[in-house]
């Protein structure tokens, strides 16, 4: 929650720090991709506007030709004329509204496509800094707001402008002096709009951020619902949610106040002017019955002008809302994707990995690097184990191999090539990862095992992976077998079952380099033995980097790299390290006395 508040506070300062014009033009470019539809919508809006604007003239005709002079032709045909006009208005209105809505939906579709396309290519750092809930909020709320506000703006600009121009022309035609008086209100209207603009831009940005805050809290409460129950965190979570929800309410109320204030302010301006017009008409222009028709038509036109004028007065609100949401949306589309400048096309690695004096920190301004002067190698087919207390940098080393991050200094080489020189996709094709958090997708077991490799479907290979990872042991108990959908994050499976699916995925991928991070931690003893056997077989002949908290599983490793505080404190095979009598030997002794303990709780510092 503290984080949410902080980010909101930071964003407050940036609320208007973007180029509104540039964002608006960019938004228009999305609309102009559907130029033909837009032209159709605008064309019919103009026609609809013209029809609406002609109502005042028609009323005058009805009063004059119908009531005063009793023109027979008019009396006979006026009903039909009215019907034709109403029908035309209905049909034109339908075409205009539907086509504009279609343009809006297409823009929403395309912006979402662009966001998600880039999201899949963003560097890991982006996800470290932006919560998934905020991304969801941008994709759903901000995109919708952007497109709806933009299409609404266009509708107002084209239809209401035509109605306004039509009615104002009619007013000028009837009496240009009175109309000039009426138009005196315009500069004041512009003043009100300018004031509202500023407020809107700020509150719109804050509303978007508060939506992200709400999404964050709900996501955390859903994912952590068990912890919340066990530790009685309901009150704390509810308080977090209340804060986010209240902030959202406050910002919405601020916006509503400005929004609700615009129309009354315009009415306060226009009211006295209308009274003045009434006074002038009744006192100076009242000449015979014809002037009554002209007066009714004139006042009608003035009153009819109110609605489009009000909407035009609020068009800036729409633009501000749309542009602010668009700015948030474009920030994801513009976020720089992972650097993939490598040119070495390297699809057949021998699996020789080497760290040369590698140092790394997550944030540039960190005083203490997370990894310092890391030097070790894994020759083709070798197995190297990383051990060390929690936070010593083991997972970070695996992240660097997969190039989720780049080291600040030193070089990591694969078969002599700097990893940065390799084509990113090629590098990752060479590596399989089974990590602590098993990432399963809400899809079937079969598709989870072949994730990203569906085009390589090979039944025999799939069955072999299922067998080797002991997935078959629980598969036959599931009525739908491989077609069983695992639920979000695989929540409908046990931890051990999830991990076996992840191992099967790695086996199916059959890549020359393996990274196993706590690969068997979620398995019971029986399954673990089976899986350990499967992994042993799998690791044979492959370059493997294993992070295991139980030393018993890595005794046979070719090299054991012992880390502490991001530095290698010793390395060598199991026996050598025991003989050396250093930290590894201490740890081994401690774990032998407490075979149940898996972690480095008693790490000797």
Ligand X SMILES: Nc1ncnc2c1ncn2[C@@H]1O[C@H](COP(=O)(O)OP(=O)(O)OP(=O)(O)O)[C@@H](O)[C@H]1O
Q: Does 390 bind ligand X (CB under 6 A)?
A: yes
Least distance CB 517 / ligand X (angstroms): 7
Residue 37: CB atoms within 10 Å? 16
CB 222 within 8 A of CB 280: no
Tokens found for residue 280: 């002038």
Least distance CB 601 / ligand X (angstroms): 12
Q: Does 394 bind ligand X (CB under 6 A)?
A: yes
Can you tell me which residue has the tokens 């823009």?
107
Q: Does 601 bind ligand X (CB under 6 A)?
A: no
Measured CA to CA, the distance from residue 96 to residue 44 in angstroms comes to 5
Q: Does 239 bind ligand X (CB under 6 A)?
A: no
Q: What are the φ and ψ backbone dihedral angles of 442, each rounded to 5 degrees?
A: -75, 75
Q: Does 392 bind ligand X (CB under 6 A)?
A: yes
Q: What are the φ and ψ backbone dihedral angles of 344, each rounded to 5 degrees?
A: -80, 115
Stretch near ligand X under the rule CB under 6 A, chosen from 91-99, 267-275, 386-394, 441-449: 386-394
Q: Does 543 bind ligand X (CB under 6 A)?
A: no
Nearer CB in complex with ligand X: 265/395: 395
Rule CB under 6 A: choose which of 43, 123, 233, 391 binds ligand X. 391
Stretch near ligand X under the rule CB under 6 A, chosen from 68-76, 245-253, 393-401, 463-471: 393-401
Least distance CB 395 / ligand X (angstroms): 3
Residue 450 is given by DSSP the state T
Stretch near ligand X under the rule CB under 6 A, chosen from 138-146, 343-351, 385-393, 425-433: 385-393
Q: What is the secondary structure of 143-161 as a DSSP string?
A: HHHHHHHHHHHHHIIIIIH
Nearer CB in complex with ligand X: 234/390: 390
Q: Does 582 bind ligand X (CB under 6 A)?
A: no
- The residues, ordered by sequence, that sit 6+ positions from 515 with a Cβ below 8 Å of its Cβ are 398, 401, 402, 431, 432, 433, 434, 435, 544, 545
Least distance CB 442 / ligand X (angstroms): 24
Least distance CB 521 / ligand X (angstroms): 11
Least distance CB 599 / ligand X (angstroms): 8
Q: Does 393 bind ligand X (CB under 6 A)?
A: yes
Q: Does 573 bind ligand X (CB under 6 A)?
A: no
Q: Does 123 bind ligand X (CB under 6 A)?
A: no
The closest alpha carbon to 323, from 211, 155, 200, belongs to 200
Least distance CB 122 / ligand X (angstroms): 14
Least distance CB 393 / ligand X (angstroms): 4
Strands 383-387 and 543-547: parallel
Least distance CB 115 / ligand X (angstroms): 22
Least distance CB 519 / ligand X (angstroms): 13
Q: By rule CB under 6 A, what count of residues binds ligand X? A: 11
Nearer CB in complex with ligand X: 150/392: 392
Stretch near ligand X under the rule CB under 6 A, chosen from 33-41, 281-289, 394-402, 491-499: 394-402
Least distance CB 437 / ligand X (angstroms): 10
Q: What are the φ and ψ backbone dihedral angles of 378, each rounded to 5 degrees?
A: -125, 110
Q: What is each CA distance from 583 to 374, 503, 589, in whole angstroms?
A: 18, 31, 10
Q: What is each CA distance from 71 to 57, 75, 77, 269, in whole angstroms?
A: 16, 6, 10, 40
Q: Does 128 bind ligand X (CB under 6 A)?
A: yes
> Residue ranges of the alpha helices (H) in 357-441?
394-401, 424-429
Can you tell me which residue has the tokens 């930290």?
583
Q: Which long-range contacts (CB under 8 A, 24 or more apart) does 290-294 make?
A: 290/64, 290/68, 292/63, 293/60, 293/63, 293/64, 293/67, 293/68, 294/60, 294/174
Per-position x/- string for 342-381, each x denoting binding to ligand X as judged by CB under 6 A, each - no binding: --------------------x-------x-----------
Measured CA to CA, the distance from residue 446 to residue 200 in angstroms comes to 50
CB 566 within 8 A of CB 536: no
Stretch near ligand X under the rule CB under 6 A, chosen from 187-195, 226-234, 389-397, 450-458: 389-397
Nearer CB in complex with ligand X: 49/388: 388
Contacting positions for ligand X (CB under 6 A): 128, 362, 370, 388, 390-396
């Amino acid at each position: 929650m503290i984080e949410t508040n902080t980010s909101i506070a930071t964003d407050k300062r940036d609320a208007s720090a973007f180029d509104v014009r540039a964002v608006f033009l960019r938004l228009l470019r999305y609309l102009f991709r559907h130029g033909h539809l837009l032209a159709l919508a605008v064309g019919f809006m103009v026609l609809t506007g013209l029809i609406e604007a002609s109502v005042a003239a028609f009323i005058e005709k009805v009063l004059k030709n119908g009531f005063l002079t009793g023109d027979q032709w008019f009396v006979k045909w006026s009903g039909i004329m009215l019907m034709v006009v109403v029908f035309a208005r209905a049909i034109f209105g339908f075409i205009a509204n539907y086509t504009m809505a279609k343009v809006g939906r297409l823009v929403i579709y395309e912006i979402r496509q662009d966001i998600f396309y880039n999201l899949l290519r963003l560097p890991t750092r982006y996800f470290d800094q932006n919560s998934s809930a905020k991304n969801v909020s941008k994709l759903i709320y901000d995109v919708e707001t952007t497109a709806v506000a933009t299409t609404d703006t266009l509708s107002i600009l084209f239809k209401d402008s035509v109605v306004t121009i039509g009615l104002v022309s009619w007013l000028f035609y009837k009496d240009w002096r009175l109309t000039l008086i009426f138009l005196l209100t315009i500069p004041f209207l512009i003043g009100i709009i300018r004031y509202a603009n500023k407020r809107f831009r700020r509150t719109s940005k804050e509303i978007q951020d508060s939506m992200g805050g709400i999404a964050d809290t709900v996501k955390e409460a859903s994912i952590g619902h068990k912890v919340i129950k066990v530790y009685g965190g309901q009150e704390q979570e509810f308080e977090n949610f209340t804060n986010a929800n209240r902030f959202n309410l406050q910002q919405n109320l601020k916006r509503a106040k400005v929004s609700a204030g615009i129309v009354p302010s315009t009415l306060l301006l226009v009211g006295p002017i209308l009274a003045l017009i009434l006074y002038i008409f009744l006192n100076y222009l009242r000449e015979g019955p014809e002037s009554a028709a002209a007066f009714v038509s004139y006042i009608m036109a003035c009153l009819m002008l109110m609605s489009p004028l009000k909407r035009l007065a609020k068009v800036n609100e729409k633009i501000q809302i749309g542009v602010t949401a668009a700015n948030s949306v474009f920030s994801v589309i513009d976020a720089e994707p992972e650097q993939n400048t490598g040119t070495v096309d390297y699809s057949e690695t021998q699996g020789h990995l080497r760290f040369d004096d590698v140092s790394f920190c997550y944030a540039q301004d960190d005083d203490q690097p997370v990894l310092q002067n890391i030097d070790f190698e894994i020759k083709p087919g070798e197995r190297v184990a990383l051990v060390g207390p929690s936070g010593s940098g083991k997972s970070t080393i695996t992240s660097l191999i997969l190039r989720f991050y780049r080291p600040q200094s030193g070089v990591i080489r694969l078969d002599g090539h700097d990893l940065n020189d390799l084509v990113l996709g090629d590098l990752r094709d060479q590596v399989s990862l089974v990590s602590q958090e098993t990432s399963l997708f809400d899809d079937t077991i079969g598709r989870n095992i072949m994730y990203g490799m569906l085009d390589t479907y090979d039944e025999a290979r799939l069955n072999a992976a299922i067998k080797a990872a002991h997935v078959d042991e629980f598969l036959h108990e599931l009525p739908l077998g491989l077609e069983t959908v695992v639920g979000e994050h695989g929540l409908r499976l046990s931890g051990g079952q999830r991990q076996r699916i992840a191992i099967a995925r790695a086996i199916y991928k059959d890549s020359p380099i393996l990274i196993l991070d706590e690969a068997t931690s979620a398995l019971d003893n029986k399954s673990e033995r089976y899986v350990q056997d499967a992994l042993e077989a799998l690791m044979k002949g492959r370059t493997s980097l294993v992070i295991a908290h139980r030393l018993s599983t890595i005794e046979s490793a070719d090299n054991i790299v012992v880390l502490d505080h991001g530095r290698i404190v010793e390395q060598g095979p199991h026996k050598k390290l025991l003989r050396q009598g250093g930290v590894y030997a201490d740890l081994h002794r401690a774990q032998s006395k407490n075979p149940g303990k898996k972690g480095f709780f008693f790490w000797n510092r």
